[in-house]
Structures are given as structure tokens and as C-alpha cells.
Structure 1
Amino acid sequence: MSGSWSTGLCDCFSDCDSCCLTYCCPCVSFGRVAEILDKGEISCCLHGSLFYLLAGFTVVGGCIYACLYREKLREMYGIEGDNCTDCLVSSCCLHLSICQNYRELKARGFDISAGWEGNVEMHTRSVTSAPGVQGGMNR
């Protein structure tokens, strides 16, 4: 899946739930995406609140904040593009950009609403013991 986005920028109808959430409460969608990209270092609530303040007082501030996380997602998964395109998309199509980021993380196996800790727990729950070594350990 690396190399390109799993969905297009305007593919909102492929996931109506994230589209509706992003349209009604972009700060929640953005906060969830940013928490996962930061691996839980900063909470969804703090990211969402900061986005709300930046976008509420200066639209440009919210766009720049969203652009930084779009770049982070793209670089993390080796998705083609560049920083200029990320800024342009985040500035001109902010809601679509956030929604695409949300869908991308879902396509890569994350349950966005569970947050970072919830995803870590879900992925480690199935691991009950260390893998066996075939043939034993030899020197």
C-alpha cells in the first residue's frame, strides 16, 4: 500500500462516517489522526483543542497545523507527494484533507476512534507468548 494514498482526496462516500464526523467536528477527526501519528504522546483532546483554537482564530493556523500532520502521515508510510502539495491541499481543502488522512489510517489497520492506546492494546492482545525457535538455540 505504500507509494500512493489508499483513497482519493474526494472519496468521502467510501467512508461516510468519517466524512460526516469531519464535516461536523473537524477538530475531533484531526485530534484522533494526530494522536495516532504521534503514537499517543499527545492526546486526541489536546490536539483537537489546539486545532480548534488555531482554526477558530486564524484559519491559516489550522491549515498549517493540519498540513504538518498530513506531511507526517505521508512520510511515515512513504506516500508519494511533497510538502508544497500537502500545504496546498490542507489550505484549499482542509476538511477533505483531514478525512483522507482518517481513511488512510483506517486502511492501514487502525481503529481511529480507539486512539493510540486502544490500538496498541488490540494489536498486543493476540500475542500470548514469545514465538518458538525452530531447532532450539545453538551457539
Structure 2
Amino acid sequence: MGYLQMQLMNETTEKNTKGICLNIDRFFADLDFTANSDFEKWDEYPFERFHEKMSRILEEVEHKQQELPLLFSIPLDEEMSFLECTYCYNFIVVDKNLFQHTQHEFELDIEALEVCRNEDIDCIVLYLGMNTIM
């Protein structure tokens, strides 16, 4: 299983807000299957949208303005799709407490679990999969 560690540094307070996204390799595989990589550098490309969304979420978590759990989707616009459909890539953001109660529902490797248990991690993001919008 792949994971992506994320960090947002507040230059004023010098506080780091950290998160981890699990199953990121499945997200990449789904993107490879559905998205035309010619659009990869565009701001509307799903991976760019994911980074933008996670920056906002980490900032809101830092300021305690975001309640968790949080479900969100990142769209792939029809014109960027190989199959000319609109896809949504779905994620859930949880805190460590909820994650510890639900981790048994996911196939997670030992390395990813150890990173999630790290005291510095503020939130955990799970990629849940994709669906189409007709």
C-alpha cells in the first residue's frame, strides 16, 4: 500500500500540521486508468485539486475549524477523461481516534499503520475509490 505524508507549516506560529493519505497508490492507478495525462500540469487535474483541497483541510484542522470525519470528492472533468465521463475520486479524512476504531476495516500494511500512530500526525486521509457521474 502506498501512502503520502503531507505537512503544512504556519510561518507565523511555526506550527506544523501533518497528515497522511493512505491508498494513494490506488488513487494514482485510478488516475492512470481514467485521466488523460496530457492535462497533468493543469490546475484542474485531480492530483492538483487534491493538493489544493488538502492544504485547505490541514489549515482548517490546525485552526480547529474543521470537524472530522470529512468526506470529499475530487472530480475529473469529462474533457480530461479517456472515456468521456466525469469521474469522482472519493476520500475520507479522520482523526487518529476514529482511525484506531476503524482501521480493521481496511487492508493496511504495518509501515502505514506505524506512520498513522505517530504522535505528530493530525489527520489521516483514506482514498476510498472512484465512481462515475452520468
Assess same fold via TM > 0.5.
no
Which has the larger Rg? 1
TM-score range, shorter chain: under 0.3
Q: Relative to total residues, which structure has the larger strand share, 1 or 2?
A: 2
TM-score (norm 2): 0.27
TM-score (norm 1): 0.26
Q: Relative to total residues, which structure has the larger helix share, 1 or 2?
A: 1
